[in-house]
Structure 1
Amino acid sequence: MSKQQYRSEMGIMGDILNVTMEGGRQGAIVSAISRRANLSHYAVIEKCEKLSTAGLVQTVRTDKNRLYTITEKGIEFVQEFRKFQSLLDALNLRY
């Protein structure tokens, strides 16, 4: 018997992008993303690296922290993803 997944991969990525978008130009540190997206520290880093490779977020390293900021491409993706979520909600479907 397999365990039912709480969120899809797209849902998790959407949550991370929402947090980074709310961080604005300053970005969001890993621990803030971890708390707000309900993910482990290492899961956040893994997912953010995927988003960075896709060009949706940008990594900025400071002396102590690793910050993630959303790119223009990421903002456009979030806007389209929200439209997609609204459509699925209207059809009463899960993604």
Structure 2
Amino acid sequence: MMAPDVTIVGENHRFDRLNLPMRLQGYQRFPPVRIEDDVWIGARAIILPGVTIGQGAIIGAGAVVTKDVPAYAVCAGNPARVLRLRTQEENEQ
């Protein structure tokens, strides 16, 4: 599930040539973003290039995900960090 205004970044402008305006330098491609099954991404979250979001993970609203998220993790913040892991024991209570 994805809430409104989620941003997934896949490329960016190049900026390494000082003698050429950035807008003329083209794009830099990055490894793809992978989003596994049963993931919930909150409103206005930003997912940066090359990140894998593991199965069953939850990304809080407004989070900026800069590195891989483990399966069943609950993440939030800027940069996003793991707050806790979802567990089977929680579901049995």
TM-score w.r.t. the length of structure 2 is 0.23
TM-score w.r.t. the length of structure 1 is 0.23
Task: Report which of the two has the higher share of strand.
Answer: 2
* Structure exhibiting the larger radius of gyration computed from Cα positions: 2
**Larger RCO, structure (CA 8 Å, separation 6 or more):** 1
